[in-house]
Structure 1
Amino acid sequence: MPPGLEGLGVEFRFCDAGGLGEAVRGARGLMLWDFFSTAVRDVWAEAGSVEWIHVTAAGVDTLLFDELRDSDVVVTNAHGVFDRPIAEYVLGAVIAHAKDSRRSLELQRRHEWQHRETCSILGATALIVGTGAIGRETARLLSAAGLQVRGAGRVARPDDPDFGEVVASSNLSAEVGWADHVVLAAPLTDATRGLVDAEVLAAMRPGSHLINVARGPIVDEIALLNALPDGRIAATLDVFDREPLPPDHPLWDAPNVTITAHMSGDVIGWRDTLAAQFATNVRRWLAGESLLNVVDKKLGYVPTGAR
């Protein structure tokens, strides 16, 4: 029994992807733990009784397909759970880049003492692509650390409370030259797939730093691999086209790249937080109350201002 749901008279079934077709028959709700799974699409013909699907992630790009979008099934996500941890990861990546931590580790491994000067993050610039909850928490934390921030989103606007200015992400190549750090925190949609392409990478300023905590396919990985060898830009990547990243993938050995295993939001206790969030929504659902964190299935995310 999931914690916090005892005594509600609900039957819970547990299964892996292979058993979902049988388990979903007659079920009214579905909690999807593996947010990269396509199992729901595969068993959609068996899921006619399902009214609500909850995904334990902020991104719902793998779940959504045309039949689900066009249905009356409500989709909710883990909006809010990962905002602060991911913002802290981004701040850590910014500091590590400014303090040349990759070089320090290389020198340490060679037992080589090399004094050098590094950069301050005070006054550095960060363009945050994605103006949802994760992007906003990141903007607030980077601002508190002394960086100047801007956002990039679907609609350009001045005087945003968290970003100051929001520029149009559709014109990203004209905007990235302003930034020391380009942070990707947008959902994966048709509009953002391949958004950071060769043109955008070429427009980044020399010495700048790309941070991807969103989804791998937002970046054209081939274009990134071609852009890295000349040393103009560096990258911190937590997400990739294929995960786990294959051992023979050239990004492992690419220059000026820091790789982590899709862990930017996973701090100690995150599973308990997800369970508590799900339990809250189950109780609301059983009581006939509106659910929290309802995804706009056409947009592919929880709209700004919605819970």
Structure 2
Amino acid sequence: MSSVQPSSGARVLLPFPPSEIGGLPAGWDTVVWDGTDQEPLGQGLEAVEFFVIPYTFTAAALPVLPRLPSLRVVQSLSAGVDDLLPHLPAGVTLCNAKGVHDASTAEHAVTLVLAALRDIPALVRAQDAHRWARGFQTALADRTVLLLGHGAIGSAVEARLRPFECRVLRLARTARETRQGPVHAMTELPALLPEADVVVVTVPLTDATRGLVDADFLARLKDGALLVNVSRGPVVDTAALLDELRTGRLKAALDVTDPEPLPPGHPLWTAPNTLITPHAAATTSAFRPRAVALVRAQLARYTAGEPLANVVSAGTG
């Protein structure tokens, strides 16, 4: 955690009305910008110290950053901040939204697993064609699920997998013990991949994870294995995945892709055994109340001069 001392008469740039947070400290002022306009409305941006970036509007927010000379804290409403970090002004503290998206993303990950294993897309297409298409499908029960990443979201996925009577393998950057069992280090990944019937990817996008799911990774998976990606598209080598999908050897359920948005005509759209959702895992009714609660807590910490939570990059200088 990192502590940042506010100045008197601070101004906050928020994506929702301050009344939704429960009010601001006396003497504070607010500029409200939800990202839908080209730039924040009103005057006084030079006094903004705390900027909460509107969710899904990071690209629109980047040109705003240089217009905030008093900026001290940027609060993202996304768990991943790989697209924001390179543009962070010097001396500014960046916090992510760890905890806000856990429930929604975990629900979506399990939904993708079940839908892909049971081939729900094919059944929907059969319904559209008024065709009664019966047949045996793969159950999640008795399968082995490898969680690639065991942070907040990976842990939330595991919690939702427990009732399905499947075996769970956990991998993270470093090995550790949890109440549910051991978390294996990434160095053990090559040996564990052949055991997996399903791989759920929840790692953040970093230099170490970019292209992690490459041709060698995929070749180690057993025939018929399912890859589920709810992290970031570039964690997976798209060309390598397409090579496997075209043979019919593997299945994929992707909430994120590389490139993204996936353009019309891209071969992933029509790849066999592939289910695609449009980066929709976190955009649910659970988002806003959790986002508001995080911002409320962070502003309270900032006002009191207490350490901020979820610090990704601590401002220095």
Residues 1:38 and 1:170: Cα distance change in structure 2 (over 3 Å): farther
Q: What letter is aligned with 1:280?
A: A
Which residue is equivalent to 2:48?
Answer: 27
**1:131 pairs with 2:185:** no
Residue 160 of structure 1 aligns with which residue? Answer: 178
Equivalent residue letter for 2:240: A
1:74 has 2:93 as partner: yes
Identity fraction in percent:
36
Q: 1:233: which partner in 2? A: 250
Q: 2:70 pairs with 49, 74, 83, which one?
A: 49
Question: Secondary structure, in 3 states, of the residue corresponding to 2:47?
Answer: coil
Q: What are the within-5 Å matches in structure 2 for residues 104-253 of structure 1?
A: 104-157=123-176, 159-162=177-180, 164-170=181-187, 172-253=189-270
Q: Partner amino acid for 1:19?
A: E
Instruction: Report SS of the residue matched to 2:74.
Output: strand
For normalisation by structure 2, the TM-score amounts to 0.83
* 1:39/1:108 CA distance change after superposition, 3 Å: closer
CA distance in 1, matches of 2:57, 2:199: 25
* Aligned residue identity for 1:222: A
Residue 8 of structure 2: aligned partner: none
Structure 2 partner of 1:88: 107
* SS, match of residue 131 in structure 1: coil
Instruction: Report which stretch shifted further, 218-227 or 266-275.
Output: 266-275
d(CA) in 1 for partners of 2:187, 2:46 = 42
Q: Render the CA deviation track for 1:209-267: whole Å, top value 9, x for unaligned.
A: 11111011101111111110111111111112233221222211111111111111222
Calculate the aligned-residue CA RMSD, in Å.
Answer: 2.6
Cα distance in 2, alignment partners of residues 48 and 58 from structure 1:
25
Offset, 1:75: 1.6
Number of positions where the alignment pairs a residue of Structure 1 with one of Structure 2: 294
Cα distance in 1 between the residues matched to 2:32 and 2:88? 24
- In structure 1, list runs of 5 or more residues that go unmatched: 299-307
Find the residue that maps to 1:25 and give its secondary structure.
helix
**Residues 1:213 and 1:283: Cα distance change in structure 2 (over 3 Å):** same
**Aligned equivalents of 1:41, 1:105: Cα separation in 2:** 40
1:80-127 per-position Cα deviation (integer Å, ceiling 9, x unaligned):
111122111122222223322233223333333343222332221111
1:254 and 1:51, CA in 2 relative to 1: closer, same or farther beyond 3 A? Answer: same
What SS class does the counterpart of residue 294 from structure 2 fall into?
helix
Q: Which among 282, 289, 297 is matched to residue 306 of structure 2?
A: 289
**By how many angstroms is 1:30 displaced?**
1.0
**Residue pair 2:98, 2:152 contacting (<8 A) in 1 also:** yes
CA–CA distance in structure 2, aligned partners of residues 14 and 72 of structure 1: 24
CA contact (8 A) 2:246 2:271 kept: yes
Looking at structure 2, the residues matched to 267 and 67 of structure 1 have their Cα atoms a distance apart, in angstroms, of: 28
Question: In the alignment, residue 154 of structure 1 is paired with which amino acid?
Answer: R
Higher RCO structure, 1 or 2 (CA under 8 Å, sep 6+)? 2
TM-score by length of 1: 0.85
